[in-house]
Structure 1
Amino acid sequence: MRTEPGLPPDRPFDLADPAAYATGDAHGSWHRLRQTDPVRLDRTPSGVPYWSAFTHRDCARILRDTNTFSSTSGTILDSIGSPDPAGGRTVVLADPPQHAPLRALTMRHLGPAAVRGQADTIRERVHRLVADLTPGVHDVMPKLRRLPMLALGPLLDLPEQDWDALVHHAIGCIAPTDPEFANGTLNHNHAKLFHLIRTALHTGNAFAADLRSLPLSGRPATSRDVLLNLYSTLIGGNTTTPHVAAHLLLRLADQPELWEAIRADPTQIPDLVEEGVRWATPTQSLVRRVTTDVELGGRQLRAGDWVAAWVASANRDEAVFPDPYRFTPGRPAHAHLGFGRGAHYCAGAQAARLLLGALIEELVQRGLRFSLAQEPQHLSSTVINGITTMPMRFCR
């Protein structure tokens, strides 16, 4: 989705249409809805009703309150009316208390301590990734899409020659109608991705071994459970971090004075990254299922109802972010919902921050300046605020 500075016009925007995000900008509609209809009843293309929440307060509440708003039926718009069969079996699709052991295991491999231990190695991989980024025109997206695999590939013992295919099919699972990634059907993308990640089951991989030894709801984990959690980890990383990186470069190209300030003082990079996550909000919406009757934003939701927290709208809420349509590094890092909130706060947040920061550090150290060579192409997806191609002109 396009995310230009300034409040865009309030044009009709179908929030349930993936194609709308490839060419449009929903922020004008979201701005109006936060003021006039902060929780409203919507319908999927097949007619299934669901609630949409647009304010920061309501979205944060939905994400925090796992007792009332459950993840086990699915977390994306496509889940509405068709509960996810992996419900309760992965860290993303489990509620407390079943969620806790899966979360603890994931954090052991991806949390702050694990990332600190791998920081120098990951920075070196980022250095190699951009080593051939020389003056001239380059579509940066193939490189940016590789960023998460610099951490996840070695973590899961996945062969480097498979990384590009893994990323392609991961994005295809989330955006199966996008022309760039519509490789057959959604089932085809799922099958290809599962085939590739089965490698981790046969290499003595520590993450997979720990998952296999973990009891799930009082029973031993199966190979299917392990695969589902590896799949979830790969989807989570590969469909988010590259697009924050892309939107960051897009903003820096549009605000060359900001890039010069970063080059002059690289200590600002962490603030730049944090504002990049707020600005891009790579996961635009997160779906939950209501477990008990509850009032939300003046509306009465019933047990069994579906509700979408439009996190991208929440991250432009004027009640929380002064001048929200301006890209301003240095805002309070804890305010945005770009990494989620509560029990399901992104397990890979620290790895994402490291990868994004290392990318910017490398561009600074290489003395590169950049501008857009062509308009970027945006992803057709109701879930991910993504960019598919972005040719940039680099110079020194």
Structure 2
Amino acid sequence: MTTGATIPAEMAQKLATPSVYATEEIHEIYSWLRANMPVARAHPEGFDPFWVVTRHADILAVSKANALFPSGARATTFANAGHIARNHEITGCPHLVKSLVTMDGPEHRKYRGLTQGQFMPAKLRERSPAIHALAAESVAAMAGLGDACDFAADISMAYPLKVVMEILGVPSEDYDQMLRLTQDIFGPQDPDTAKAMAALDANQYSAVIQRTVASLTDYFTKISDDRRARPRDDLATLIANAVIDGEPIGRVEETGYYIIVATAGHDTTASSISGVMWALATVPGLLDQVRADMSLLPQLIEEAIRWVTPVKTFMRSAAEDTEIGGQAVGKGDWIMLAYASGNRDETVFEEPFSFRVDRKPNPQLAFGFGGHTCLGQHMARLEMQALYEALLPRLESVELNGEPEYIQSIFVNGLKRLPIRFRMR
């Protein structure tokens, strides 16, 4: 690794600690780094060293330069050295799953192009009635809970899962199974949902992951076989019959495609949906303001996405000696893009630590940028718009009914508990 500014050891260790990301301390660390070491290296114990990029402009610059800062050469999501080594044992590369987020260059563009049209506004307009129907079901379910619920657990988790599984073509009776399997494969860092991966030796870890991958492959092989025999208007049919360079895509790529659609289309949107409700429950006058002027809803949604930033970090590496924000970075160096820091950058956002429905423009980075911009960003916004279009006219009041709690994760992180008390018409 190229020499440069080195983050203090205690702070570097916190950047590698999932529980820190469930507290405001992570934003205190980011604020200090933006002011003092916007591009600096961290050497936490048990991890390969990595650069931490915290300013909006630098994150944007790296995100745009896909060839210079590829996703696939090193681990794309942050993990300790032992787990990365085990991934190599299982798959022969740093990644457990081969998917769009681990692909680069022409390969990425070809695979992204297979389904990109399904997530563009024109196709989503066709799907809009079904999404609005699921939103209405969720609002009815909330009304049926009386005057209190855990909004994150009771509403946010279920609604986007139903949407993405319906678009994918997974039968409703399999929703719980798919949620469990896709969470298992990524080994969630939060203690409420994690398998005790850290306690397993290399052979045990390999066995757990191989069983999960085998289960997912078996499940989606059946789905694909069915769609090849009986095509439908769903994403599974597109994936099952996909052709790259004149050849059907392989099972590894096929399974990876299913997994990334199922996971990326669920947890992140659920976090942002809860972020909107958190704001409505805590920002004085916000509920009345938006309910009186529903044209503010898109801005409310965009600010919630900025505020939550569900994907806290992604990793890149340097393809050659280069620089980021004036700091020399060496070929092969591992790089953490701290999106949650970029979305609180004082040089870009006025009052970045205030939730402002009047924030316009809002150049938030939560969906990434460049070639790896989130494929499902338009669908996520549509889901949120549909839910709150149905809910806000009926929601007379809402307040917190306990302490919100965040997922402990360095990667995808949002509210896992949001107890509220509410009154609905």
| Length-normalised TM-score, structure 1 | 0.89
Q: Which of structures 1 and 2 has the bigger CA Rg?
A: 2
Question: Contact conserved, 1:246 with 1:387, CA < 8 A, in 2?
Answer: yes
Shift of 1:24: 4.4
Aligned letter for 2:79?
D
Are 1:318 and 2:329 counterparts?
no
Separation in 1, partners of 2:362, 2:353: 18
Q: Cα gap change, 1:325/1:233 in structure 2, threshold over 3 Å: closer, same or farther?
A: same
Matches within 5 A, 1:136-285: 136-142=147-153, 143-174=155-186, 176-183=188-195, 185=197, 187=209, 193-194=216-217, 196-204=219-227, 206-216=234-244, 220-285=248-313
- Distance in 1 (alpha carbons) for counterparts of 2:372 and 2:263: 15
Tell me the residue number matched to 1:84: 94
Question: Offset at 1:174?
Answer: 4.3
Deviation at 1:53, TM superposition (A): 0.4
For residue 119 of structure 1, what is the amino acid of its counterpart?
Answer: S
Distance, in Å, in 2 between the alignment partners of 1:380 and 1:306 is: 22
CA 1:237–1:25 in structure 2 vs 1: closer, same or farther (change >3 Å)?
A: farther
**SS of aligned partner of 2:390:** helix
Letter in 2 for 1:69: F
Q: Which residue of 1 aligns with 2:120?
A: 111
- Rounded Cα–Cα distance in structure 2 between residues aligned with 1:182 and 1:41: 28
Deviation at 1:264, TM superposition (A): 0.8
Deviation per residue, 1:95-131 (Å, 9 max, x gap): 1221112222221222222211111210111101221
> Out of 333, 354, 357, which is 1:329 matched to?
357
Say if 2:309 is the partner of 1:299: no
Q: Which moved more, 1:291-300 or 1:74-83?
A: 74-83
Distance across 2 between alignment mates of 1:170 and 1:183 = 13
Structure-2 change in CA distance of 1:189 and 1:43 (3 Å): farther
Work out the CA distance in 2 between the residues paired with 1:163 and 1:60: 36
Query: Does the CA contact (< 8 Å) of 1:122 and 1:150 recur in 2?
Result: no
Change (3 A) 1:50 1:342: same
In 1, Cα distance between equivalents of 2:48 and 2:125: 45
* Aligned residues of 2:165 and 2:262 also touching (Cα < 8 A): no
CA distance in structure 1 between the partners assigned to 2:218 and 2:394 by the alignment: 38
Cα pair 1:125 1:150 within 8 Å, conserved:
yes
Q: Secondary structure at the match of 1:287?
A: strand
2:99 matches 1:97: no
In the superposition, relative to structure 1, how do residues 25 and 113 fare at CA in structure 2: closer, same or farther (>3 Å)? farther
Query: Shift in Å at residue 329 of structure 1?
Result: 2.0
Aligned pair in 2 of structure 1 residues 121, 208: CA closer, same or farther (>3 Å)? closer
Partner of 1:7: none
- Aligned partners of 1:198 and 1:183: how far apart in 2? 25
Q: Deviations over 1:228-267 (max 9, x none)?
A: 1110111211220101111221111001401110111111
Give the Cα separation in 1 of the matches to 2:213 and 2:149: 30
Aligned 8 A contact 1:86 1:93 in 2: no
Identity across aligned pairs (percent)? 28
Secondary structure at the aligned position of 2:18 is classed as coil
Cα distance change of structure 1 residues 199 and 350 upon mapping to structure 2, 3 Å threshold: farther
Q: Aligned residue pairs: how many?
A: 385
Q: Work out the CA distance in 1 between the residues paired with 2:184 and 2:77.
A: 14
Q: Which moved more, 1:220-229 or 1:54-63?
A: 220-229
Query: How far is the alpha carbon of 1:28 from its aligned partner?
Result: 1.1
CA 1:85–1:133: 2 relative to 1, 3 Å: closer
Report the Cα offset of residue 330 of structure 1: 3.5
- Displacement of 1:306 in angstroms is 0.7
State the 1:390 CA deviation: 1.8
Moved more, 200-209 or 63-72: 200-209
- In the aligned structure 2, how far is the partner of 1:373 from the partner of 1:172? 31
1:240 aligns to what SS in structure 2?
Answer: helix
Q: How many angstroms does 1:224 deviate by?
A: 2.3
Matched letter for residue 270 of structure 1: P
Correspondence 1:12-161 to 2 at 5 A: 14-73=14-73, 74-78=75-79, 82=85, 83-85=93-95, 89-134=98-143, 135-142=146-153, 143-161=155-173
Which digits, 9 at most, give the CA deviation of each residue in 1:283-305, with x for residues without a partner? 00111111111011232111111
User: Residues 45 and 145 from structure 1, CA distance in 2 versus in 1: closer, same or farther, beyond 3 angstroms?
Assistant: farther
Deviations 1:318-350 (A, max 9, x none): 111111111112334561101110111111001
Q: CA deviation at 1:189?
A: 5.7
Cα pair 1:174 1:384 within 8 Å, conserved: no
Q: Secondary structure at the match of 1:245?
A: helix
Q: CA deviation at 1:147?
A: 2.5
Q: What amino acid does structure 2 have at the position aligned with 1:203?
A: D
Per the alignment, residue 368 of structure 2 pairs with 340
- 8 Å Cα contact 1:293-1:302 kept in structure 2: yes
Aligned partners of 2:259, 2:80: CA distance in 1, in Å? 17
Contact map agreement 1:59 1:311 (CA 8 A) in 2: yes
Query: RMSD between aligned alpha carbons?
Result: 2.4
- Distance in 2 separating the partners of 1:232 and 1:140: 25
Runs (5+) with no aligned partner, structure 1: 1-10
Q: Which amino acid aligns with 1:150?
A: K
TM-score between the two structures when normalised by the length of structure 2: 0.84
Per-residue deviation at 1:60?
0.7
Answer yes or no: is the 8 Å Cα contact 2:27–2:341 preserved in 1: yes
Of residues 101-110 and 166-175 in structure 1, the stretch that sits farther from structure 2 once superposed is 166-175
Cα deviations across residues 191-248 of structure 1 (Å, max 9, x unaligned)?
5555554453243155334334444578541122111111011121122010111122
Q: Which moved more, 1:303-312 or 1:205-214?
A: 205-214
Partner of 1:381: 409
Maintained 8 Å contact 2:302/2:362? no
* Bigger shift: residues 104-113 or 34-43: 104-113
Q: The residue matched to 1:318 in structure 2 has which SS?
A: coil
The answer on whether the counterparts of 1:174 and 1:383 sit within 8 Å (CA) in structure 2 is no
